[in-house]
Structure 1
Amino acid sequence: MEEIGKLTEEYKQVLAKVQDRRRHWHEHSKPFLKQYLSEVSEKHQLNWKAGANESMQGLEAVYLVFDHEPSGIVEQSPFSVVQKMKVGGFLSFSQTRNGQVVVWISFPFIDGMAEEKPKVETIETIEPEEITAENITRFISKFLDELIQWENDSRDEIGFRSHR
């Protein structure tokens, strides 16, 4: 019976921690991320913008996303000419079910060219309190490094679909 008492107290502490994380995210982390990412996108002129997905309360995300743009690849047939679009990648700070924040990247892809879904990579899972200017800058740097590598990697697009 003593073991159950210890475990119930531990569980109560875990539930309280989840609520603390959610409160910190809502009051501090999310507004700070929105502001910081907006400032970055305005200061450093690329085809990107900051945004938020708030459609699911408790599982919200704040992100930095590249706009879609022509890829330079054009599919031609006797009846049409189709400009293939590069769907921009993004860096996301996504709240998890327990209130922690997963920082992850979705890589760009050329729409209609590859069979697979876009590559996704988790960078780190952090506490909402760890969302600081220094850490955000570190994550944006990692994101940009990965996109530079993606743009330079000539072997990434193997497996094109055949359009007949």
Structure 2
Amino acid sequence: MNSISELTQEYTAVLQKVQERRACWQAKSKPFLIQFLSGVTEKHKLNWKAGANELMLGLEAVYLVFDHEPSGIVEQSPFSIVQKMKIGGILSFSQTRNGQIVVWISYPFIDGMAEDKPKNDTLETIEPEEITEENVTRYIQKFLVEIIEWENNARDEIGFVRHR
């Protein structure tokens, strides 16, 4: 069994690594992501934008998100007509409590048509220094493949809820 001395040294090293990750995120990874993702949205004209959630220092996120748009589904009743909105689709690079970055996707959904919250998938957990042009490009490609598949496949049709 490890001695208390060895464990305290290990814990000190872990705390130092967390600080290094956070410093790397602030100095390099976050500014790179904001610039790179903004460049992608400018170059490739879709109904999307890049942004950052900086409300909680140490748990920040940089993301690509599709804007809300009409889904093409309209609910009609004798008293109203309601255009159902398609809510985004997000690729997020989110800090964790230990400074690592979780890359994840939130799939689009049609507001008011499903009982569940949007489906989320984690792509990978990485170190801030692994945020490179090559890796981010790969994540964007995976995100777009998933969004295309969501649009093409009727995988969420069964079990939708109608609100009257």
Q: Secondary structure at the match of 1:161?
A: coil
Partner of 1:160: 160
**Helix, strand or coil for the counterpart of 1:162?**
coil
Q: What's the secondary structure of 1:155's corresponding residue?
A: coil
Name which of structure 1's ranges 150-159 and 64-73 shifts more when overlaid on structure 2: 150-159
Deviation at 1:162, TM superposition (A): 2.7
2:115 corresponding residue in structure 1 = 115
The answer to whether structure 1 residue 83 and structure 2 residue 120 are counterparts is no
Structure 1 position 23, deviation (Å): 0.2
TM-score normalised by structure 1 residue count: 0.98
Aligned to 2:45: 45
Pairing 1:1-164 to 2, within 5 Å after superposition: 3-164=3-164
Q: How many residues align?
A: 164
* 1:156, distance to aligned residue in structure 2 (A): 1.8
Q: Which runs of 4+ in 1 moved over 4 A?
A: none
SS at match of 2:3: helix
Q: 1:2 to 1:137 in 2, by over 3 A?
A: closer
- Comparing 146-155 and 72-81, the one that deviates more: 146-155
Secondary structure, counterpart of 1:117 in structure 2 = coil
Alignment root-mean-square deviation, CA: 1.1
Distance in 1 (alpha carbons) for counterparts of 2:157 and 2:93: 27
Distance (Å, rounded) in 2 between the aligned partners of 1:2 and 1:102:
31
1:157 CA drift (Å):
2.6
Asked whether the equivalents of residues 112 and 162 of structure 2 are also in contact (C-alpha less than 8 Å), the reply is: no
In structure 1, what is the Cα distance between the partners aligned to 2:153 and 2:91? 19
In the alignment, the residues of structure 2 paired with residue 38 and residue 162 of structure 1 have an alpha-carbon distance, to the nearest angstrom, of 37
Moved more, 3-12 or 150-159: 150-159
